[in-house]
Structures are given as structure tokens and as C-alpha cells.
């Protein structure tokens, strides 16, 4: 009856084990802390992949468990990235500015320093003053709070408006897509205060750590991403197990019935939507310092659609499925689009994977949806022995089937 959380969810233990083995292996093979078999740029790719796995499990909870096909979760991911990027740019530019002004005849005033930072950052869009949204950029603590607060509030307000008017299904998907599109179009403008389509760059340079080589920074971020993924996995496994999971899955399967049981469905959806948005934002805040640059194209609707594709291919409704899908498809995608995949010569036509990868991905997505609805994660069902159906009641669901009393003893 009161079995422990791990006993009821053995996949959590297996996942944490696999993640630890993987992280240690990468550490031992990296340039900074190991043999150097894995290049620093590939460590960064792996670290970024872990962040994508984290947003994928968030997507799985909101879609696979709660049935809300959100096509806007990359907006939260991007906002998390912008929030941390603002501090990274500000603090690094400040160091450079202070250094260059140190040689001036008169010591610079605070205002001069701030103005110099602003013209450095915004020169590219023809502005030289900090917009209001940069008010907290000088402080790491405040900006870290923004990582959680801004996407969290956006999700809360958006979700409240959408769920309260009982928008469901494909209409909700379109609405979330409109949200992310609107946000990305807004950010594309030069006067949005976030450098328009230039985005924020140089994020891989951590202020004050100029002396530390990128190989070390990359492994540190890799570990931070791994820990975040582990913690996120346990958090979501806890949320979707037990009674909360029961109610969430019930909402997915028959939301009006849940209402008649006395549950306020909208509050539950809002809870799941906001929680997953916050986790997506944290994933973004870890991703972009590894990517080095963030621009509005990152939160275009297509990114969120990819997210849904990863989760569908990996297997909806199981957290490890989402991780597998995100890792597998995104790594495969960078292999194909990076030009490392060998071209296939058909004699009359040569298939260049950089052009054909999207077609392959689309076909795989359709094939998985049609033929393997459980996705890659479904393969685990073949390994794990399922308990044999407990036939203690009637012999079948049909009316004509034997009742329990009629059966053999």
C-alpha cells in the first residue's frame, strides 16, 4: 500500500542511473577533464541536448499526460534564454567598458559607465539607452528570478485566459502557436529592446571567467544541464504519479467527466501549463549560454512543432520516451544537417541529406504516428514483462461472455 516512490516508479531509478553513467563517461572523455576524445564543441552539443530533453519532458507532461497540445513551449524556453542572456551581455560589456575607461584622465561616473554599456550593446540597432526591460540586467540574482517569473507569468496569464474560455484541442494549439509567433515577431523589431534580429550574442563568455578555458566551462554547463534534467525528471515523475497524475490523465481522457467529479479542470490545466513553462524556461536558461547566441528565430513556431515531433517519436505519456525522442532526433538532426551524413547516389539523383533531412523527419513522424503510436519508448514494453491480466472477474466484456459464476473454478 505505502510503497516508496521509487518502488512504484522504477523507471526513475533507471533513468537517473543512465544519466549518471552518461555524464561521467562524457566527463572522462572530454578535453578539460579527461582523455580529450570528445571535443569541446561536441560537449556543448551534448549539454544542449540535455536541455532539449528537459523541455521535452515538460512537453510530454503537458501534452502526453494532460492532453494539451501546446505548440508554444519554445517561447518559454526562449524567454528563459533571453533573461539569462541579458545579464551575461550586461555584465561582460560592463567589464570591458570599465577596463577601457580606466585609462581616462578622469575616473568615469556610474552614469557614464551605464551609458557606455548601453551604447555598446544597442549600437547595433542604432540606440544608446537601456529600455525599461533591462532594469534588472545588472544583477544576476534578479535576472535569475526573471528566468522563472517572466515565462511563468506569461504562461499563467495566457493559460488563464485560454482555459477559462474552455478553448481546447486544435484551437488551443493554434492559440499557443499564435502566442509564440507574436512574441517572435515582436522581438524581431529593433525597438523591442532586445536587439531585434541580432539577438543577444557572446553568451558563451561568462563574465569574470575569461581566464577559464571554454573546455572547462562547457563541462560545467554540461553537468548543470544533467543535474537540471535529473531534478526535472524526478519532479515530473512525482507530479504524474499518484493522485495528481490520475486526475491529469483523467482530464486528458474526459475533461467534462472530471468536472462532474468536482475538480476544477481549469485550475489543473493552468497548474500543469505554468509548471511546464517554468521548467522549459530553466532549460532555455541553461541552453543558450552553451549555444552562445539567441535570436528571435529561436522561438519561431517551427521550434515548438519540432518539440511535439520529438515527443511523438519518442513516445507520448512516458517521460523517458520524451528524453529518448529529443536526444535521438535532435542529435540525428545535427548529424544530417551538419553535412556529415554521406550523400546517397541513386544514379539519376543524389540525395543530399542537408536538403532531404526534413522530408525524412516528416515521413518518420507520419510513420510513427500511424504505425507505432507508442514511439521509440514503446520498445521498452517488449523488454519489461507485463503482469498477466488478473482474470478474477467475468470472462469478457461482452454481454454474452461467461460471468464469473458460470466459469470454471
Compute how many residues bind other proteins; rule: CB under 8 A.
Answer: 35
* Nearest approach, Cβ of residue 229 and other proteins (Å): 21
| Contacts for 256 with CB less than 8 Å, ≥ 6 apart | none
Closest to other proteins by CB, 131 or 396? 396
Closest to other proteins by CB, 213 or 242? 242
**What is residue 390's DSSP assignment?**
-
Position among 128, 207, 224, 249 found at the interface with other proteins (CB under 8 A): 249
Residues in the chain: 409
Closest to other proteins by CB, 111 or 243? 243
Beta strands in 202-339 (DSSP E): 293-294
Tell me the CB-side half-sphere exposure of residue 57, using CA atoms within 13 A: 28
Hey, how many other C-beta atoms are within 10 angstroms of the C-beta on 278? Answer: 21
Give the interface segment with other proteins, choosing from 19-27, 32-40, 247-255, 337-345 (CB under 8 A): 247-255
* Nearest approach, Cβ of residue 318 and other proteins (Å): 13
Closest to other proteins by CB, 210 or 253? 253
Position among 259, 359, 366, 379 found at the interface with other proteins (CB under 8 A): 259
SS3 annotation, 94-152:
HHHHHHHHCCCCCCCCHHHHHHHHHHHHHHHHCCCCCCHHHCCCCCHHHHHHHHHHHHH
Position among 234, 247, 341, 360 found at the interface with other proteins (CB under 8 A): 247
Q: Is 408 an interacting residue with respect to other proteins (CB under 8 A)? A: no
d(CA 93, CA 112): 13
The per-type count for the chain, helices as H runs and strands as E runs, is 15, 4
Closest to other proteins by CB, 362 or 391? 391
CB of 333 within 8 A of CB of 356?
no
Closest to other proteins by CB, 3 or 111? 3
CB of 294 within 8 A of CB of 81?
yes
d(CA 239, CA 248): 9
Closest to other proteins by CB, 257 or 369? 257
d(CA 202, CA 140): 17
Q: Is 407 an interacting residue with respect to other proteins (CB under 8 A)? A: no
Q: Is 242 an interacting residue with respect to other proteins (CB under 8 A)? A: yes
CB of 229 within 8 A of CB of 50?
yes
* Nearest approach, Cβ of residue 15 and other proteins (Å): 21
Position among 20, 109, 246, 354 found at the interface with other proteins (CB under 8 A): 246
CB of 294 within 8 A of CB of 203?
yes
Task: Please state, in angstroms and as integers, the Cα–Cα distance from residue 172 to each residue in 13, 33, 112, 128, 277, following that order.
Answer: 35, 47, 48, 40, 16
d(CA 93, CA 118): 9
* Nearest approach, Cβ of residue 321 and other proteins (Å): 16
Cα 45 versus chain centre, distance: 14
* Nearest approach, Cβ of residue 264 and other proteins (Å): 5
* Nearest approach, Cβ of residue 380 and other proteins (Å): 18
| Contacts for 271 with CB less than 8 Å, ≥ 6 apart | none
Position among 264, 344, 362, 407 found at the interface with other proteins (CB under 8 A): 264
Residues 380-399 that bind other proteins (CB under 8 A): 389-390, 392-394, 396-399
Position among 42, 136, 223, 271 found at the interface with other proteins (CB under 8 A): 271
Q: Is 369 an interacting residue with respect to other proteins (CB under 8 A)? A: no
Closest to other proteins by CB, 362 or 396? 396
Closest to other proteins by CB, 138 or 249? 249
| Contacts for 286 with CB less than 8 Å, ≥ 6 apart | 47, 51, 54, 221, 224, 225, 228
Q: Is 115 an interacting residue with respect to other proteins (CB under 8 A)? A: no
Position among 129, 191, 210, 253 found at the interface with other proteins (CB under 8 A): 253
Q: Is 35 an interacting residue with respect to other proteins (CB under 8 A)? A: no
Q: Is 331 an interacting residue with respect to other proteins (CB under 8 A)? A: no
Q: Is 278 an interacting residue with respect to other proteins (CB under 8 A)? A: no
Interface residue list for other proteins (CB under 8 A): 1-2, 239, 242-244, 246-247, 249-250, 253-254, 256-257, 259-265, 267-268, 271, 389-390, 392-394, 396-399, 401, 403
Amino acid at each position: 500500500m505505502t510503497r516508496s516512490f521509487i518502488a512504484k516508479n522504477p523507471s526513475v531509478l533507471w533513468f537517473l542511473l543512465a544519466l549518471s553513467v552518461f555524464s561521467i563517461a562524457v566527463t572522462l572523455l572530454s578535453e578539460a577533464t579527461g582523455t580529450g576524445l570528445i571535443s569541446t564543441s561536441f560537449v556543448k552539443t551534448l549539454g544542449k541536448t540535455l536541455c532539449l530533453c528537459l523541455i521535452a519532458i515538460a512537453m510530454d507532461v503537458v501534452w502526453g499526460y494532460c492532453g494539451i497540445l501546446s505548440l508554444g513551449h519554445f517561447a518559454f524556453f526562449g524567454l528563459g534564454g533571453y533573461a539569462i542572456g541579458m545579464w551575461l551581455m550586461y555584465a561582460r560589456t560592463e567589464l570591458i567598458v570599465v577596463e577601457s575607461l580606466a585609462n581616462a584622465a578622469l575616473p568615469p561616473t556610474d552614469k557614464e559607465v551605464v551609458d557606455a554599456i548601453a551604447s555598446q550593446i544597442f549600437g547595433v540597432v542604432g540606440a544608446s539607452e537601456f529600455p525599461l526591460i533591462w532594469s534588472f540586467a545588472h544583477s544576476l540574482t534578479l535576472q535569475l528570478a526573471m528566468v522563472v517569473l517572466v515565462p511563468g507569468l506569461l504562461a499563467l496569464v495566457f493559460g488563464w485566459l485560454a482555459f477559462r474560455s474552455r478553448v481546447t484541442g486544435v484551437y488551443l494549439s493554434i492559440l499557443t502557436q499564435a502566442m509564440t509567433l507574436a512574441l517572435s515577431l515582436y522581438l524581431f523589431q529593433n525597438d523591442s529592446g532586445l536587439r531585434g534580429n541580432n539577438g543577444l550574442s557572446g553568451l558563451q563568455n561568462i563574465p569574470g571567467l575569461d581566464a577559464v578555458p571554454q573546455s572547462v566551462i562547457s563541462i560545467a554547463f554540461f553537468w548543470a544541464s544533467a543535474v537540471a534534467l535529473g531534478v526535472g525528471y524526478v519532479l515530473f515523475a512525482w507530479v504524474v504519479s499518484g493522485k495528481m497524475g490520475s486526475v491529469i490523465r483523467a482530464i486528458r481522457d474526459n475533461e467534462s467527466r472530471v468536472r462532474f467529479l468536482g475538480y476544477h479542470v481549469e485550475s489543473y490545466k493552468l497548474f500543469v501549463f505554468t509548471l511546464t513553462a517554468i521548467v522549459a524556461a530553466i532549460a532555455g536558461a541553461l541552453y543558450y549560454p552553451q549555444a552562445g547566441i539567441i535570436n528571435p528565430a529561436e522561438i519561431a513556431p517551427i521550434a515548438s512543432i519540432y518539440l511535439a515531433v520529438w515527443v511523438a517519436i519518442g513516445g507520448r505519456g512516458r517521460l523517458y520516451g520524451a528524453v529518448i525522442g529529443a536526444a535521438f532526433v535532435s542529435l540525428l538532426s545535427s548529424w544530417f544537417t551538419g553535412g556529415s551524413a554521406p550523400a546517397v547516389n541513386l544514379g539519376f539523383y543524389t540525395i543530399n541529406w542537408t536538403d532531404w533531412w526534413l522530408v525524412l523527419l516528416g515521413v518518420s513522424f507520419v510513420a510513427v504516428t500511424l504505425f507505432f503510436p507508442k514511439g521509440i519508448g514503446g520498445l521498452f514494453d517488449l523488454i519489461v514483462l507485463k503482469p498477466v491480466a488478473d482474470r478474477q472477474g467475468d470472462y469478457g466484456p461482452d454481454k454474452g461472455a461467461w460471468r464469473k459464476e458460470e466459469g470454471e473454478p
